[in-house]
Amino acid sequence: MQKTKSRICITKFKKNNIPEIENLLRVKKEKMVAMLAPSFAAEFDYPQIIHQLKQLGFDKVVELTFGAKMVNREYHRILEDNSKLPDGKKKLWISSVCPGIVYFIREKYPQFEKNIIPIDSPVIAMSKICKRVYPLHRVVFIAPCNQKKIEAESSSFVDYTIDYQQLKIIFSKYNLKGSKKEIKFDKFYNDYTKIYPLAGGLSKTAHLKGIIKPGEEKKFDGILEVEKFLKNPDKKVIFLDVTFCKGGCIGGPCLTSKNIAKNKERIMDYMKKAAEESIPKTKIGLIKKARGLNFKW
């Protein structure tokens, strides 16, 4: 188990990926897909970010919303089965979408490891989908935090990882400004999961109404609140929707702004803007793109 450093944005892990990514994109012109974490809108302007990534050389640009959709389906199934058990027999399940939470529990509270939902995070789920849909592309994950970078680097489905600050360095190097002209992600349009980077975003999108009773769920953003619960768990609670960072992923250490309210406002503005876009009917809800993929640990 690799230890995490939670308070800073680490720009170098196993190796510095930037030169190799630049060489593949700018010199060798290889096909590559950029996977953007859903918190990107708190750091970058939309749709300029898509233009910039395309100008840099990425052939495809996706966000993780479809991967989050697949994760939600698995959570719904597990939590629904758990809800059918008699009171007293129901199991406490802890969300695993935030790798920082998973690493923290494994290190400090291993007695709760059996309670972690054994389902991929949206990052890994979406990378599996990308490898299927774009088998000739290398997958580059653009991350808001070091925990997600560690997670992605440990996966055979992600070829390279960089964070938001590293991406800004590359954009600046090549003077890539982007454009405000309409351009869409290469995606499958399950966009209600754009709210995922906000605290409680999982619970709001997993359709848990009628499955989780009042008092059976707790939402915590910030590791101190999570640890407080683990030290003295409420036995009535059967689901924890938790994130390591305060505010959720919009509080990630690789975001420039540390103003959670401002970052949330940017996410909500992006959601409104994206909701106004016309979506081809042929692109709506293409679950079949992920059919047969295994998102379980």
pLDDT of the residue at 2: 36
3 state SS of 289: helix
Residue 232 lies in a domain: yes
pLDDT of the residue at 275: 80
The tens digit of pLDDT for each residue in 12-61 reads 444 578 999 999 999 999 999 999 998 999 999 999 999 999 999 999 99
Is 261 exposed, middle or buried, given 0-12, 13-18 or 19+ CB atoms closer than 10 A? Answer: exposed
Cα 61 from Cα 26, distance rounded (Å): 16
pLDDT of the residue at 274: 84
Residue 5 lies in a domain: no
pLDDT of the residue at 13: 46
Contact indicator for 246, 139 with CB cutoff of 8 Å: no
> Which residues are CB-neighbours of 112 under 8 A, at least 6 positions away?
92, 94, 105, 230
Residue 35 lies in a domain: yes
pLDDT of the residue at 49: 97
Q: Per-residue b/e over 155-164, b at no fewer than 16 CB within 10 Å?
A: bebbbbbbbb
| Residue range of the domain that includes 50 | 18-251
Number of domains observed in the structure of the chain: 1
Q: Between β-strands 60-63 and 32-36, what pairing exists: parallel, antiparallel or unpaired?
A: parallel
Beta bridge pairs of residue 239: 93, 217
pLDDT of the residue at 164: 96
pLDDT of the residue at 289: 81
Residue 205 lies in a domain: yes
The tens digit of pLDDT for each residue in 77-89 reads 999 999 999 988 9
Structure token digits, residue 66:
């479809």
Across the chain, mean pLDDT equals 90
- Radius of gyration of the chain measured on its C-alpha atoms: 19
Cα 73 from Cα 15, distance rounded (Å): 35
Residue 177 lies in a domain: yes
Contact indicator for 64, 122 with CB cutoff of 8 Å: yes
Q: How many CB atoms lie within 10 A of CB 59?
A: 18
Rounded mean pLDDT for each run of 10 residues along the chain, 297 residues in total = 39 67 94 96 96 97 93 96 93 97 97 98 96 96 94 95 95 94 80 88 91 95 97 96 96 94 96 77 68 93
pLDDT of the residue at 6: 36
Residue 128 lies in a domain: yes
Task: Pick the closest to residue 254 from 32, 22, 5, 2 (CA basis).
Answer: 5
Residue 275 lies in a domain: no
Cα 239 from Cα 286, distance rounded (Å): 28
Residue 126 lies in a domain: yes
